[in-house]
Structure formats: structure tokens, C-alpha cells
Chains A and B, each alone.
Chain A
């Protein structure tokens, strides 16, 4: 168990550019979540996958955002045509459904995005 890994840790980009973040969950975990957190606020749910299926998306996830989990392992979150309002910490979390305490979420350290 090496924990949830996110890459990169920090990303600075100019408005209008596209960015992509990667999340590697704990290896046997079948659920993967993306959250967004701005300064002084709690994390806000964006979307989640069970294996490779994307089962729910928040209204926060505009059409500029897309997430994939192609083989049910790692996931990517892409933001197209970034805006300054996209600046936030993007957090990934995973859990294992079907085991005791399956609902316990394990979070990565996040990707801090700054849009200039």
C-alpha cells in the first residue's frame, strides 16, 4: 500500500491553456473520487468512478472538464481552456467497496493549480 499518488503537485498555467492531472489510487481500490478545494473551504465533490465506469458528475463539472479511468486503475482529470476561477487544489481519493470499512476514503496530497 503506497497510498494515493497525484501528479503534478503544482501546476501553473496561463488562462486558456489545457491542463491534465493524474491520480494513481491504492492498487486494489475500485472506487476513485475527484474533489476540488479552494482556500478556506472544504473539498467539493466533482465526480467518481467505480472501476472504469464514471457513475456521477457534479454540476460543478462544466463541459470544459473531463475525467477518465480507462482501465479501472489510474485516472486523469483534464481542464480545457482554463479560467482563473479554476485555480484550486484538486484532490483525488480512493476506497474499496465490498470490504469492512469500505467507505473509508484515502486522499492523495492533491494538485495545486494556479491559472494566471
Chain B
């Protein structure tokens, strides 16, 4: 059974800092991994999708890496802004794209 752990559970940083969010998963037989953002009381917004054959994906100030064999992924956020404040969730996906989510990292970027 896939289990997903995200560290840290919460993070508070001043505006402008670069930061790294960590995700680990127990079953490396994944097809892809997605990172999502969730604002309070809202649904999830997909940030990046990494296929199992890929090592990383980039979108603007976001970069996600995947080390499938060791069961790890990281999300790097460059030059953080107050608007980046949200919960970030990682989710490895299997053949049917049934995603298994971690509990997330709650990020607060202080102006």
C-alpha cells in the first residue's frame, strides 16, 4: 500500500527566500507524480506533473524533481512571494491515475 510523507508539515519564510518541500513515498512502482497547491477551503490546482521516466519539470519559479528508485520528490520554489502561501500536496499516481496524497506542507510567506 502506497504511503506518502511530506516534510516539513508547516513552513514560514520571509518573502524572497528560496525553499524546498520534500515528499517521500513507499512504493516506487509509480507512473507519475503530481504536485498540487490548495488554498483554504478550495479545491486543488495542479502545479507540475512528472512522468516516471522524467527527472524534473519546471514551471516559472517552480521546479519539481523525481527520484523514483529512492521514492523521493522535491518541489523547489524560487524567490517566494506572499501569494505562494498555501498548502502544497504531492501525489504519486499508478496506472489508473488514482492518486495517493500526502498530508501536505502548509507554507506561509511573510511580506
Taken together as a complex, chains A and B put the C-alpha atoms of A42 and B104 apart, in Å, by: 7
Q: Are the C-beta atoms of A108 and B91 separated by less than 8 Å?
A: no
The docked-state distance in angstroms from the alpha carbon of A76 to that of B103 is: 26
User: How many A-B contacts at CB < 8 Å in the complex?
Assistant: 59
- Rounded to whole angstroms, the CA-CA distance of A106 and B36 in the bound complex is 10
B43 touches A42 (CB 8 A): no
Residues of B within 8 A of A (CB): 4, 31-32, 34, 36, 41-46, 49, 89, 91, 93, 96-104
Size of the chain A interface, CB-CB below 8 angstroms: 26
List A residues 73-105 near B (Cβ within 8 Å).
91, 93, 95, 101, 103-105
Check A110–B97 contact: CB distance below 8 A.
no
A103 engages B49 (CB within 8 Å) = yes
The 10 closest A-B pairs by CB, nearest first: A42-B101, A107-B43, A107-B44, A109-B43, A103-B97, A43-B101, A104-B49, A45-B98, A103-B32, A110-B43
